[in-house]
Amino acid sequence: MNVATDSERPVRQILQDIVGNLQDIIRLEVQLAKAELKREASKASKAVVLAALGVVLCIYAGGFLLLALVHGLSVWLAPWQAALVVGIAAALLASVFLTAARRRFAKIDVEPERALQNLTKDATWARDQIK
C-alpha cells in the first residue's frame, strides 16, 4: 500500500482528514467533560445528603416549636419548657448540618475547566490549520 505524501494528496482528502481529526478531538473533549462532571456530581451528592439531614431536622424543629407553643398555651409550666428546649436543640443541630452542606456546595465546580481549555486550544489550532 502506497502512502501518498501531502503534496500528492488531493485537497478533498486533506480536508476530510482534518474534519475527521476534529470530530475525534471533539468526541474526546466531550468524554473529558463528562468525566469531570461525574466527579463534581459525586461531590454534590455528599452535600445533598447533609442538606437533606438539615432539612429534616428543620422540619422536626418546627414541629417541636409548634408543640412547645401548644403546651405553653394549654399548660403554663413544665411540658412546654421541655418541648422548647428540644425544639431549640433540634434547630441548632439543623443549622450545623446546613452550614456544613453550604460549605461543601461552595467547593463544587460545575464548569469542566480542562475540557473548556482544551476546546479553546483545539479551536485555535483548527483555525491556524485552515489559514
The pTM of this model reads: 0.40
| Residue type present at position 97 | F
CA-CA distance, 44 to 23, in Å (whole number)?
A: 31
Amino acid 1: pLDDT: 43
Residue 100 pLDDT level (bands cut at 50, 70, 90)? very high
Q: 33-83, pLDDT tens digit by residue?
A: 888 888 888 888 888 889 999 999 988 888 887 677 667 766 666 776 777
pLDDT in tens, 26-44: 888 888 888 888 888 888 8
C-alpha cell at 12: 478533498
Between 122 and 30, residue with greater pLDDT: 30
Residues 6+ apart with CB under 8 A from 44: 105, 108
Other Cβ atoms within 10 Å of 94 Cβ, number: 20
